[in-house]
Structure 1
């Protein structure tokens, strides 16, 4: 073998080593500690902002951006939104209390949207419920621009107000906050204000098939994509897992969460397993809870209507919230009290998702939402949510690893072929 040939082989080996070292940590980074529940994962691009004690000092929130803040036990926080007169604005606030603390059923957060004169445009609440288990809770509000409306329709300064629901019963620690803002454009053509159409409200059967492993995310920004099918995971007491489901206009989702039987202990935990559905602006659509006695149990969401623009005019919140297409979120929480009677787990979790209805066209917006693409479903979203039988890999993280591995192997084989050809020519 010539010196040039040996040099080429050493170079190829070195390149292969670099590629393997580069791919290794990426794969390892997908795993976390196996013995402790993960905390809430805030959006990587979330900006730090301080809430003000009054409206005059409130800092502005940019539409389409995500923020991190902090809510003390006592006091009210103000943030400013500068809105136009043609777009409907949405804001969600996720409060993240420290794990292991004591909370009451009625404790949580309240949010208000007010105009420059202090008049209320909308309000929302979220509390911890009967399980009294600290977990991320999300409340949302809107400033809707609507034909014929007279309140909160002008362009100018508006204010988001955030406070705890029961400060007198709340833990003394400050809660972290994640604030997300969005806007929805008006319609290209003025449409009549129609009541929602009729839909089949019968409970559909769960999807059949072997559950596919898919690890849930630790926050809205890290939600794992899932589509129709059965998905399995592990969950520990006090942990909250996030998944997202792509929903086109005209389609609807039905979901159940099943907790496997425990291997130790006995007793009963009230509302131990909780399942909630949130829309693309993180507004809660519906929620369900089930107690746990150590035997298999399930929390079933009630049927919701197909995604339709006119749903916003419904009186029922679970119908009104199904007002646009996009990524809907399934949020699963296992109460921390489960550990008292049944151990630290982990416990087997099965999420069953059923998608119904026929995809249709949107309402005809006059512009783009902010963030762009928020109220639509891209092809990559459907691909990421698919299971093995639908053209997907079953696990987005393993898809990336597989692609990386295939790419690395192909590059090494291609390099070996080039080196062999060069060596043969030089030998001749």
Structure 2
């Protein structure tokens, strides 16, 4: 996604496009931004009417408060399919701590292949949460291995819980297909791995504004990153993690300078999701107006064999790609500290040594989902698209003044095209 790099560098004081707009004096918290080309579909009340989810596509739908919705997958007997659902309650609505979203993949006989539940948890505030489920082809699994029709069911985790919202929620559905490997793989999980907690990354923080959804997640590399998060807001970041590398992250809330004594438990939550939006790990940070920090529990190096581990924290780290850090600040913080932004610092470290990935027998869908490209990471203010634009301009021998004009023209066209694009 293009970012306002030229304007920022030249001090023009204008905004072109961004991961989420923060207009001067804007009082509302930005809501979830759905994938731009997501197709709008309706979840069926019966498997007989379920709409097919195609691998590699992203969809928008609605989750009623008191019923399951069904979607359909058409699968062969070689591919592992992943389906995730991100539930987005309306801003300002009440939610129960135990409520959330539940996703299940079932075969044509109603047998469960896999399931997962994501709840709002201790903050008890409405914010996007994602759950995932899979149909996995594995030597360890005989169930759900046949080619045929499978169903993805999505429902509320606890619609009858005290305080649960009676309103329908928006859904973002995402599907990924993973081929088998060319050579037979074993079924043993990796042995011992370095589970020691490393020291947080030090250094001067660089500014990076978080996105308002998975599709707009701001890209981070190893380093120290600074942002501001408002009560009730959720920020999305992505960290490219290659095969063999190990992700570590620490979240810090800065001091507010406000004289308040009330302690807000679980003021900040930080969730880690893998490249198919499957939950990996999380942490929560309490807040009393002074600086607070907490690090994620150590995660294993990324390895294909992690899928054979018994614990989800390890088995979810099964492929390379973009790992998402999703930070949410509880609205309760505003009660004592005001509704202004709270300083947020993320310290990201990438340990381990790179290694080759699996020898896939075919292509993944989307094609680049389990890869790490050479785009912008640590220390760059722009994204890969910005870097590419500069390279093109430099190769053509265009001067700074002309580059500015061309750059503004390109971003204007992009912005107009985005404005004209509507979900189906």
Do both proteins adopt the same fold according to a TM-score greater than 0.5, normalized to the shorter chain?
A: yes
Equivalent residue for 1:39?
31
Q: Deviations over 1:380-410 (max 9, x none)?
A: 2xxx1121xxxx3x34399579949985735
- Does 2:291 match 1:296? yes
Does structure 2 retain, via aligned residues, the 8 Å contact 1:92–1:139? yes
Q: Find the aligned partners of 1:247 and 1:379 in 2 and give their Cα distance.
A: 12
Q: Find the aligned partners of 1:81 and 1:413 in 2 and give their Cα distance.
A: 47
Q: Deviations over 1:175-220 (max 9, x none)?
A: 0000000011100111221222211100001111100000111110
Equivalent residue for 1:99?
91
Q: Deviations over 1:23-78 (max 9, x none)?
A: 98984333433433211010001000100001111111111100000011111100
Q: Find the aligned partners of 1:100 and 1:353 in 2 and give their Cα distance.
A: 31
Q: Find the aligned partners of 1:400 and 1:385 in 2 and give their Cα distance.
A: 11
Q: Find the aligned partners of 1:413 and 1:189 in 2 and give their Cα distance.
A: 51
Equivalent residue for 1:348?
343
Q: Deviations over 1:310-367 (max 9, x none)?
A: 1001111100001001111111110111111111021111010000011110111111
Q: Find the aligned partners of 2:280 and 2:96 in 1 and give their Cα distance.
A: 23
Give TM-score scaled by structure 2 length.
0.86
Q: Which deviates more, 116-125 or 406-415?
A: 406-415
Larger Rg over CA atoms: 1
Q: Find the aligned partners of 1:121 and 1:289 in 2 and give their Cα distance.
A: 31
Aligned with 1:29 (options 17, 32, 54) = 17
Give TM-score scaled by structure 1 length.
0.86
Count matched residues.
387
Q: Find the aligned partners of 1:163 and 1:344 in 2 and give their Cα distance.
A: 32
**Secondary structure class of the residue paired with 1:274:** strand
Q: Find the aligned partners of 1:279 and 1:196 in 2 and give their Cα distance.
A: 18
Aligned with 1:183 (options 164, 177, 182) = 177
TM-superposed CA distance for 1:149, in Å, is 2.6
**Secondary structure class of the residue paired with 1:159:** strand
Does structure 1 retain, via aligned residues, the 8 Å contact 2:96–2:165? no
Equivalent residue for 1:72?
64
Q: Find the aligned partners of 1:401 and 1:317 in 2 and give their Cα distance.
A: 37
Taking a change above 3 Å as real, the CA distance of residues 172 and 366 of structure 1, as seen in their structure-2 partners, is same
Does structure 2 retain, via aligned residues, the 8 Å contact 1:100–1:336? no
Aligned with 1:396 (options 383, 392, 412) = 383
Going by fraction, where is helix more abundant, 1 or 2?
1
- List alignment gaps of at least 5 residues for structure 1: 1-18, 416-428
Equivalent residue for 2:328?
333
